[in-house]
């Protein structure tokens, strides 16, 4: 009984302590106009992000928001963005941008909110 309670607390502790990680790549990612582009990002440790709030934005606009287990596309990105919702459970909050355009070049910010924890990471693109 004691053990169960302890494990429960331990998982709560983990849930509230995570960082966002964008894996560093050895070579610059290449993308062709019109192709799909994935901006990788995951939680560390790899805990589930299913119940969290995930916001992706560029320097001026909302790209995509995941809240209450629903994905809302930013108006300027309608029909062009998605998250790998089946991978949120593994803490994978990567963004997929379809039909890459020149105007997509720039910085992307990912913000993940869980209870009292808020983490940001910026992916620079030039
Ligand atoms: C953000 O994305 C929108 C839609 O593609 C674009 O019009 C805008 O210029 C972008 N902002 C920046 C700072 O890149
Ligand atoms: C997250 O999912 C994307 C899309 O399948 C994949 O490209 C990426 O490698 C995954 N990241 C991790 C850390 O598993
Ligand atoms: C995270 O991003 C939000 C929205 O872009 C911003 O208001 C906040 O100051 C950022 N926090 C940090 C720690 O960078």
User: Mind giving me the DSSP string for 11-59?
Assistant: HHHHHT--EEE----SS-----TTS-EEE--EEES----TTSEEEEE-S
Ligand 1 neighbourhood includes 126 CB (under 6 angstroms): no
Order across the sheet with 95-97: list the strands.
37-39, 95-97, 81-83
Which two tokens mark 30? 């290449």
27 found inside a domain: no
Tell me, in angstroms, the distance from the centre of ligand 1 to residue 108's CA: 10
Pocket test for ligand 1, best of 57, 97, 103, 109 (most atoms within 8 A of CB): 103
- Give the whole-angstrom CA distance, residue 41 versus residue 21: 6
25 found inside a domain: no
Task: Say which residues have a Cβ less than 8 Å from residue 89's Cβ, sequence separation at least 6.
Answer: 48, 49, 50
Give the residue numbers spanning the domain of 71. Answer: 2-20+32-123
pLDDT in tens, 88-113: 999 999 999 999 998 999 999 999 99
CATH, residue 47: 2.60.40.10
Domains in the chain, number: 1
Q: Which helix (H) or strand (E) holds 81?
A: strand 81-83
pLDDT in tens, 44-59: 999 999 999 999 999 9
User: Which ligand lies nearest to the CA atom of residue 95 in the structure?
Assistant: 2
User: Which ligand lies nearest to the CA atom of residue 86 in the structure?
Assistant: 2
Say yes or no to pLDDT of 81 above 50: yes
53 found inside a domain: yes
Q: Whose CA is nearest to atom 8 of ligand 3?
A: 120
- pLDDT of res. 59: 93
pTM summary value: 0.84
Q: Whose CA is nearest to atom 9 of ligand 3?
A: 120
104 found inside a domain: yes
């Amino acid at each position: 009984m004691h053990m169960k309670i302890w494990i429960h607390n331990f998982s709560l502790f983990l849930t509230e302590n995570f960082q966002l990680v964008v894996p560093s790549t050895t070579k610059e990612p290449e993308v062709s106009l019109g192709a799909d582009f994935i901006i990788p990002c995951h939680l560390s440790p790899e805990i589930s992000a299913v119940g969290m709030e995930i916001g992706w934005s560029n320097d001026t606009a909302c790209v995509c928001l995941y809240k209450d287990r629903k994905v809302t596309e930013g108006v300027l990105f309608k029909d062009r963005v998605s998250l790998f919702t089946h991978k949120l459970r593994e803490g994978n909050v990567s963004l997929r941008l379809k039909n890459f355009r020149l105007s997509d070049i720039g910085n992307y910010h990912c913000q993940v909110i869980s209870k009292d924890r808020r983490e940001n990471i910026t992916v620079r693109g030039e």
